[in-house]
Amino acid sequence: AGRIYLQPNGEPYEIGALMRNPDYGATLRHLGKHGPEDFYTGELAARIAADLEKNGSFVTANDLANYQLQETPPNVGTFHDYTVTSSGPPHGGATLIAILNILEGYDLQAMGHNSPDYIYTVAMAMKAAFADRNPHMADPYHEEVPVEWMISKERAQYWRDQINSGAEISAAFDVGDTPSTTHVSVVDGAGNCVALTHSLGSSSGVITPGLGFMYNNSMINFHPLPGHPNSIKPGKGRTTGMAPTIIYKDDKPVLVLGSPGATRIITSNVQVILNSLVFGMSITEAVHAARFDCQISDIRCHARIPEYVCAEVRKRHPIRRLPRSHGGFALVEAIHIDPITGQLTGAADTGTDGMALLV
């Protein structure tokens, strides 16, 4: 891995530098010629299995041959006049929709963007949705996942009642997932939309000689103890926070977004959606606005949110300002589609090296 992804002096490549990976190019050409099945049962599979066996891995040729791709329908919800589609279990779409369901019952605009009331209310909606997610989310092909209950308007009303009463919301600890993820949002000239999130976990650092690609490290996303819906099991998929999302108004897509950033993907996507749909921000303003996150304990926020605001929030719930103004949460990549003119506007989070590009 170091031979490919590091310079000869052991340092990472600078942004914009040319990094050559001829092994990966050869692998892609091989797949183009022999088809994807070669990865599971052909020459590539044999090379992968031999290398993993040689190095003491549990993964075998039979595991590759028996792998089944599971195509799951998206979760679908509504937020005021909008239809929200996001990833199905075991990913983050249901939690994103659940948060929006709770917030649909509040006049967020009247509270004011990132005001103390707004931060507290949105943070408690986040915490409530994670209180349902953490003990229940799992691979739906191996466990019963109560998605309809989680994203129901009735469940949202229950949580609003809890929030309004000031009751403590307790979210069970979750193993979470790792932040080494990539997201791409695309809209083409014909109006086709794609929100694509892919993750290696934290990546393993392992590359089979001659193949050029790195294996994932997503076993870390399972619950380490037996008896939990997300416990390790043969053939089972692990949970993630990935929540690629497309939002529609009158059956026309108006917002395409997603992000890397572990379970903070969910809470960051929600805030960009609210910034755009509730506060009428441009997509650039919506993506670049200061954010916060709350899942199982404290609220954490960007340093751009003033201390006097945090002091008011702190009277109701613990909050910590992070020592950074950008990044630290998920890194949203989003496209807004004007429902009348069809004009496309893209924005990428300033916390890293993402970009918006017209080609």
Catalytic residues: 181
In DSSP notation, 308-344 reads HHHHHHHTTS-EEE-S-SS-SS---EEEEE-TTT--E
In DSSP notation, 131-200 reads HHHHHH---TTTS---HHHHT-HHHHHHHHHHHHHT----PPP-----S-EEEEEEE-TT--EEEEEEEB
d(Cα 282, Cα 203) in Å, to the nearest integer?
35
d(Cα 147, Cα 131) in Å, to the nearest integer?
13
Strand order, beta sheet including 292-293 = 292-293, 299-301, 319-321
Instruction: For CA atoms 168, 174, 177, 179, give the dihedral sign.
Output: positive
Q: Residue 233: count other Cβ atoms within 10 Å of its Cβ.
A: 13
Give yes or no for a contact between 217 and 302, defined as CB atoms under 8 angstroms apart: no
Bridge partners, residue 202, by sequence: 200
